[in-house]
Structure 1
Amino acid sequence: MGQQTMANLLLIVINAFWGLSYVFMKLGLGSLQAFNIVGLRFLLAFFIAGILFYKRLMLVTKKVIISSFMLGTLLFGVFTFVTYGVSMTSASNAGFLVSLTVIFVPLINCLLVRRLPSKQIFIGLIFILTGIGLLTLKHSLTINHGDLFCIIGALLYAAFIILTGKLTKEDDPLTLGILQLGVAGTLAMICSVLFENPSLPSTLNSWIAILGLGILCSAFGFIGQTIAQKYTTPIHTGLIFALEPIFAALFAVLFLKEVFTLKDIISCSIVIMGILIAQINIKKLSKLKVNYIVRKSFSDTPK
């Protein structure tokens, strides 16, 4: 099995864990408050990653600390909005809305370079907005606060990805990844002390939630993504990331007994279709297909 195949399989596992994270958040919110959950998950992930890669942290510079603070602050904002969002909407809705990150990234890039989005992204955006409208708008044409928080979380995550892309070209990505977890966790715990009554998990569900979020979704997820993306292509990564909301919906039905109506299935399918349209590089795929056919014809030629 090749390195790219292994990397793709790793990304699929990571996206399954990220889909499961919405179930973990629902479980944790039964006895823990939002800032408390965000703080515990990221501090746990920070200590695990710090122990595993302590040698990298010994080489940290002032510049890396500043970059980590910027990224950690954004990460704190992302998961604060997402966690509050999950508390007010269904886990399946949250998964699909947070996946809007993949369309927000190219849109923000278009704003930064002051250029209109491509026709492909524009068509994908129309599909996505249609799907979101069907999924979230009620009879009174109002959107649930939880859905809105998840959309804001997706927008912040897009900004986080763009900033990460810039800063990792200048500093060690693994060191940045570890330190940003510590910053996000610390900020969340400070807010928990100021606005909540922070505590350690006291029930089985809350322990499962924090350990799952901290170990599987944060430590393994963020480190695994960094490693996997070295050995696979952006096209494969984008397509695999589109699986996260599908996993979120699947786990919500299996573990939280959420009910998926035909309207929900159609709405979510339209969102996924829009994400794929915006992400797939048609020209590159066509070129790869032509190259494959040419190689195949030569290999099939009698020797």
Structure 2
Amino acid sequence: MPQHEISDSTKGILFATLAAALNGTIGVLSKFLMESGLTSASIAFFKSLIGFICLLIVIRGEVESTTAYLRAGVCAFFGIFILFYFETSAYHHELAANVVLTLMAFATISAFILSWIFIGDKPTPTRWLGLAICVIGLAVFLGVSRPTNLTGLIYASIAGLGYGAFSVIAKAMKLGSGLAVTRRLLLFGSIYLAFPFVSNGAISPDWSIGAWTALLTLALLPSIGGFYCTTRAIELATPAQIQLFELTEPLFAALLAVLFLNEFPGLNTYLGGALVVIGLFVSQQNFGKKYCH
């Protein structure tokens, strides 16, 4: 029987979806840590720092060039600092559901446009249609309401633009992937996130086993695992595909909320989730293969 190899594009989509699943743990674990007294700035700083320290211990003896650090520094600025700082600021002004929808929509739209400009990956009509269906699905899924504050939406938009730019810049600069790349990203992420951490009072966790276990889990799953899968996806697929499939993150977060927080979804959750899946299917029709390598 003939053997059919999985294409790089398909592998990239799988890594992007896995990254979304790993990032979906952030909500459940962060909620637990916030209830213990930590701020979002503290959580983001410590999960990056702990992730960097873990990889510093695991990876030894690898020669790293100045160029590699420069690439990681630029990418981490957009993919970690801009994303986190403006996302956190947005939550202080606008409803969480509206922030998530705005951020994810702008991340994907910016990836579409910047990919077109910088790597020649022109979006097809079916891709735009798929994105529109996904955004409508997310709006239904999240239960968004009428915006209450323009400032919050602007901050969420900037956060989304930063994350969308991250995937395109990483692709254009040939950031690479692997644990060494992830370590460099978390190094610069820790440095950048130290500023909001200090400005928000430098609140540290208590010495309870539960708090440090949650932080270690955040470091291992979304920080190390999430960035590892995302950078692998960037190598294999287009930034547009990656951002589209990372739109599934709220779906995984909702599943984890059911399992660990007993927060059971309503009809809108199922309907919105179904629309997101349909939108992803539509978006993949006639996706250009020549840009996936």
TM-score by length of 2: 0.73
Query: RMSD value over aligned CA atoms?
Result: 4.1
Name 2:134's counterpart in structure 1: 128
Name 1:189's counterpart in structure 2: 194
**Higher radius of gyration, 1 or 2:** 1
**Superposition pairs for residues 58-207 of structure 1, below 5 Å?**
58-61=63-66, 63-74=67-78, 75-82=80-87, 99-100=104-105, 101-110=107-116, 117-134=123-140, 135-138=142-145, 140=146, 142=148, 152-168=158-174, 173-174=177-178, 175-207=180-212
1:246 is aligned, of 251, 256, 270, to: 251
**Superposition pairs for residues 201-216 of structure 1, below 5 Å?**
201-216=206-221
SS at structure 2 position matched to 1:32: coil
Name 2:41's counterpart in structure 1: 35
Name 2:227's counterpart in structure 1: 222
Q: Distance in 1 between matches of 2:33 and 2:254?
A: 18
63-72 or 148-157, which deviates more = 148-157
C-alpha contact 2:101 2:135 (8 A) present in aligned 1? no
Residue deviations 1:222-252 (CA, integer Å, cap 9, x gap): 235545777x766997786454332111112
Residue deviations 1:88-140 (CA, integer Å, cap 9, x gap): 756x88777665444541233235579974211221233234334444542x5
Are residues 124 and 107 of structure 1, via their aligned partners in 2, closer, same or farther at CA, if it must alter by over 3 Å? farther
Q: CA deviation at 1:16?
A: 2.8
Q: Which amino acid aligns with 1:108?
A: L
Q: Would you say 1:273 and 2:278 are equivalent positions?
A: yes
Q: CA deviation at 1:73?
A: 1.5
Q: Distance in 1 between matches of 2:223 and 2:266?
A: 31
Name 1:288's counterpart in structure 2: none
Q: Distance in 2 between matches of 1:213 and 1:145?
A: 29
C-alpha contact 1:20 1:248 (8 A) present in aligned 2? yes
Query: Unaligned 5+ residue runs, structure 1?
Result: 286-303
C-alpha contact 2:19 2:246 (8 A) present in aligned 1? no
Q: CA deviation at 1:256?
A: 2.7
Q: CA deviation at 1:41?
A: 0.7
Q: Distance in 2 between matches of 1:229 and 1:116?
A: 17
Identical-residue share of aligned pairs (%): 21
Name 1:24's counterpart in structure 2: 29
Q: CA deviation at 1:272?
A: 3.8
Q: CA deviation at 1:176?
A: 3.8
SS at structure 2 position matched to 1:55: coil
Q: CA deviation at 1:66?
A: 2.4
Q: CA deviation at 1:214?
A: 0.6
C-alpha contact 1:82 1:153 (8 A) present in aligned 2? yes
Residue deviations 1:134-158 (CA, integer Å, cap 9, x gap): 44542x5547987875554333211
C-alpha contact 1:97 1:150 (8 A) present in aligned 2? yes
Q: Which amino acid aligns with 1:70?
A: V
Query: Unaligned 5+ residue runs, structure 2?
Result: none
Q: CA deviation at 1:19?
A: 1.5
Are residues 222 and 67 of structure 1, via their aligned partners in 2, closer, same or farther at CA, if it must alter by over 3 Å? same
Q: CA deviation at 1:21?
A: 1.9
TM-score by length of 1: 0.71
Are residues 115 and 42 of structure 1, via their aligned partners in 2, closer, same or farther at CA, if it must alter by over 3 Å? closer
